[in-house]
Chains A and B, each alone.
Chain A
Amino acid sequence: MLSRLSTKRAISVASIATHGPRVSPAVRYFHASTIKLNESKSDAGKKRPLSRVAIGSATSNKKYAPSNSIEFASWKAVCMLIVVGGGFTYWFSKEKERLRLQKEVESKRGYGKPLIGGPFNLVDHNNQPFTQENLKNDQKKFSIVYFGFTHCPDICPDELDKLGEMLEELGKSNIELQPVFITCDPARDSPEIIKQYLEDFHPSIIGLTGTYENVKACCKQYRVYFSTPPDVKPGQDYLVDHSIFFYLMDSEGNFVDVIGREATAADGVEKIKKHIDAFIPQAEREARKESWLGFLYK
């Protein structure tokens, strides 16, 4: 397309040159011959060798740049290149990020026993049993797990407000999440109290409690540290020290990521969206590795 462009330019330069007074006899000569040929037959024009084309004649410019053909270096082409190129760059970088996340999650998954998360046996705020199986579903619905206690002075309410915000925000994008609140203070937090407590934050939050041993075991699975002060007397008011993280669990009940306290609701939403987008069910993941394209995912 470049060569074509340059001939066009050359011709037009030539045509300007031929308009000068010195070469006017030649122009006249060509003009005469064209008229003669045109008179004889219209298709004769097509057979004419290039050198015979009248330079500077009214038709010559149009012949090399017909207005209705595709112009390759026009502003439209440049725009298209930017748009298409930009589109591809965006897509590739997004895919790259997705693969990176998948690999990261894969590496955290480890082998055999998961590092974070695992079986637990608790009851929800309606006194129904709730175990790890309740985190699993086929709708790719992730769960977000938070540990706290209802007498928590400032951090838990803040964090639960943040959770509520995140859930609202995700709801706008039609992403459903199963939020789970697990108490670290089973002595005081009965299902009824938890139910009442969680009503302040978001209607979809499921509150879990259980016997002290079961809660302790569950916290251990999630590597959550908590300590009730020793020798608490009945009815005494006390605080529970505990670690503060949101645990994002995929729809197979496996740990995906944590959202810390420093993250804002918007950060959390973004993280969750990315992980849900990158999530591949186990069966599909294994099928991928087995297939002939498996090397791409290693």
Chain B
Amino acid sequence: MGFFSQNEDVPKLPPNKSKRKECWESRDQFFECLTKNKIDNSLDPKEQQNVESNCGKLRKEFEGKCVASWVKHFQDKRFNDLTRARYIEKLEAEGAQQLPFKLDNRK
């Protein structure tokens, strides 16, 4: 991977514990705002206007405190988790029963 090792002049340090905490906190605040405004997928281009007007400030803070890849990851994850939770809810409403064992432990 000589391709990557050329990148030694700017060693990118991973976020440390306090940085991570800051990032997670700003994320939680932003997501809280999204939930309040009933926005599911904050990455959806159709929702951009809505996000900007309601939670624009929090989003800016979130983006400022987290690495770009995390910003995307967390928003993706939120949408996936929501979809998943709703689907489970729907199945349970239809009378589906949980398997006695776990198939997948991802949250």
Contact = CB atoms under 8 A, between A and B. Distances in A.
Interface of A: 150-151, 153-154, 157, 186-190, 193, 196-197, 200, 211-212, 232, 234-235, 237-239, 260-262
B10 interface: yes
Interface of B: 1, 3-7, 10-17, 20, 24, 67-70, 73-74, 77, 102, 105-106
Contact of B24 (A151, A154, A238, A239): A154
A153 B14 contact: no
A211 B102 contact: no
A157 B20 contact: yes
Contacts of A197: 14, 16
Contact of B12 (A186, A188, A239): A188
5 contacts: A150-B14, A186-B1, A237-B69, A260-B105, A262-B102
B1 A211 contact: yes
A186 B69 CA distance: 18
A187 B5 contact: yes
Nearest to A260: B105
A263 to B, nearest CB: 9
A188 B4 contact: yes
Contacts of A153: 67, 69-70, 73-74
Contacts of B10: 235
Contacts of B73: 153, 239
Contact of A235 (B1, B12, B16, B69): B12
Contacts of A154: 24, 74, 77
A238 B16 CA distance: 17
B16 A200 contact: yes
A151 B74 contact: no
A190 B69 contact: no
Contacts of B106: 261
A261 B105 contact: yes
A134 B62 CA distance: 42
B103 to A, nearest CB: 11
Give 5 nearest A-B pairs by CB, closest first: A187-B4, A150-B14, A234-B7, A212-B1, A200-B17
Contacts of A157: 17, 20
B14 A234 contact: no
Given A154-B74, A193-B13, 9 more contacts: A151-B15, A153-B67, A188-B14, A196-B16, A197-B16, A212-B4, A235-B10, A237-B67, A238-B69
B99 to A, nearest CB: 14
